[in-house]
Structure 1
């Protein structure tokens, strides 16, 4: 199994796009940080990081979905799937090794983004204490106008943002991975994966509004996924009948279903090319 993971890691690392994506994200972080600093000269490091991350993390999800969408379907597109299947491994082991590498790449890209935004933000502003109370410089308000993050430290705010994003990231890449496992065409798998990302960004808000009217809508994955993504962007919202715990629970059920479909279908499908 370890040799399979090593082999898949080598495949991913040899792709030009694998190294291009971090460079694009770095350029975006630099541009966003400079822009925020230019328009808000007195912005502090934490405000800058939270603002930059809410945008740059979208690119992390985008690139991770591209990788996840192509990881299996590309084997069929290039005809290399036969070379994998003649090796002394079970099909589920081959698929699992690919999924592990996809998640590893997504997590590493996330860590890279967070570290770079902190370093660049610190250079442009100052490396402020991560234990400072951010409710004064970066307050969030309830519908009644009360400050809801009194006593919240910078590290807690960053951790919360990162935690919600990782949930969103793993779920989104898992959908793309499932699509890649079901389709033979790499272009079609990538296209569907990106379509799902953008349609959720557009239609997710609509589904949340429908949750207010029809409670059963909260069990459609687009609503809890958008709800989690809003918390990841620091724009938490109150939705009747929907809480972070319920949203994560619903996404977990869908995640298990998608993973089961991926492995069952890959085990049963005809892989002749």
Structure 2
């Protein structure tokens, strides 16, 4: 199993895009940091991270979905799937190794961008304290307009955002991975994965409105996923019928279903190319 993971890791690291994605994100973080510095001279790097996390983390999710969408479908597109299946491993082991590498790349890309954002922001602006109260600069509100994060420290806010984002990242990447394992077309798998990401970002507010009107809609994965993404962006708020626990529970059920479909279908599918 470890040899399969090592092989998939090697294939991923040999792709030019694997190294291009973090460079693109860092260039955007650099530009945003310089822009924020010019408009808000007193801003420090911790406050900057909280302000631009929604953009940088969206890009991390975007590129992770591209990788997850292509990891299986590309084997069919390039006709290399047979070379994998003739090796002395079960199909589920081959698929699991690909999934592990996808998640490792997504998590490492997240941590890399966060660390570099902290360093770049500190160099361009100043290094702020993680214990500072950020409720004034990054408030979250209840339905009644009350501030929910009064006296919240920057460390707590960043940890909360990271935790919610990892849930969003793993779930979104898993959907893309499932599509990749079900479809043979790399272009179609990438297209559907990106479409779901943009629909969730653009039409997410509509899904929350539907949750308040129709309670059953909170069990459609788009609603809890957008609710989690709002918390990941530091925009968390009360939504009638939804809570962090319920959203995580609903997504967990969908996650199990999606992963089961991926492995069952890959085990039984015709792999002739």
Moved over 4 A (4+): none
SS in 1 for 2:135: coil
Counterpart-to-counterpart distance in 1, 2:265 and 2:138: 47
Q: Residue 189 of structure 2 aligns with which residue?
A: 189
* 1:46-61 equivalent positions in 2, closer than 5 A: 46-61=46-61
Q: Residue 157 of structure 2 aligns with which residue?
A: 157
Q: Which residues of structure 1 form unaligned runs of 5+?
A: none
Deviation at 1:123, TM superposition (A): 1.3
Counterpart-to-counterpart distance in 1, 2:87 and 2:140: 55
Q: Residue 93 of structure 2 aligns with which residue?
A: 93
SS in 1 for 2:129: coil
Counterpart-to-counterpart distance in 1, 2:216 and 2:258: 20
Most deviating of 180-189 and 195-204: 195-204
Counterpart-to-counterpart distance in 2, 1:146 and 1:241: 18
For the 8 Å contact 1:53–1:117, the answer to whether it is kept is no
Q: Residue 223 of structure 1 aligns with which residue?
A: 223
Q: Residue 270 of structure 2 aligns with which residue?
A: 270
Q: Which residues of structure 2 form unaligned runs of 5+?
A: none
Distance 1:144 1:44, change over 3 A: farther
SS in 1 for 2:234: coil
Q: Residue 34 of structure 2 aligns with which residue?
A: 34
Counterpart-to-counterpart distance in 2, 1:146 and 1:270: 56
Deviation at 1:89, TM superposition (A): 0.1
Distance 1:200 1:135, change over 3 A: closer
Counterpart-to-counterpart distance in 2, 1:266 and 1:29: 39
What are the superposed Cα offsets for residues 105-136 of structure 1, whole Å, 9 maximum, x if unpaired? 00010001100111111112221221222234
Distance 1:97 1:165, change over 3 A: same
- Say what the alpha-carbon RMSD is for the aligned residues: 1.2
What are the superposed Cα offsets for residues 230-268 of structure 1, whole Å, 9 maximum, x if unpaired? 111111121111001100110010000000000000000
Q: Residue 102 of structure 1 aligns with which residue?
A: 102
Q: Residue 203 of structure 1 aligns with which residue?
A: 203
Q: Residue 239 of structure 1 aligns with which residue?
A: 239
Deviation at 1:143, TM superposition (A): 4.3
What are the superposed Cα offsets for residues 42-66 of structure 1, whole Å, 9 maximum, x if unpaired? 2232221111211111000000000
What are the superposed Cα offsets for residues 176-230 of structure 1, whole Å, 9 maximum, x if unpaired? 0000000111111111111111111122211110000100000000000011101
Deviation at 1:171, TM superposition (A): 0.3
Aligned residues between the structures: 273
For the 8 Å contact 2:141–2:236, the answer to whether it is kept is no
Deviation at 1:86, TM superposition (A): 0.3
Most deviating of 135-144 and 106-115: 135-144
Counterpart-to-counterpart distance in 1, 2:34 and 2:181: 41
2:205 matched to 1:180? Answer: no
Distance 1:144 1:241, change over 3 A: closer
Most deviating of 113-122 and 4-13: 113-122
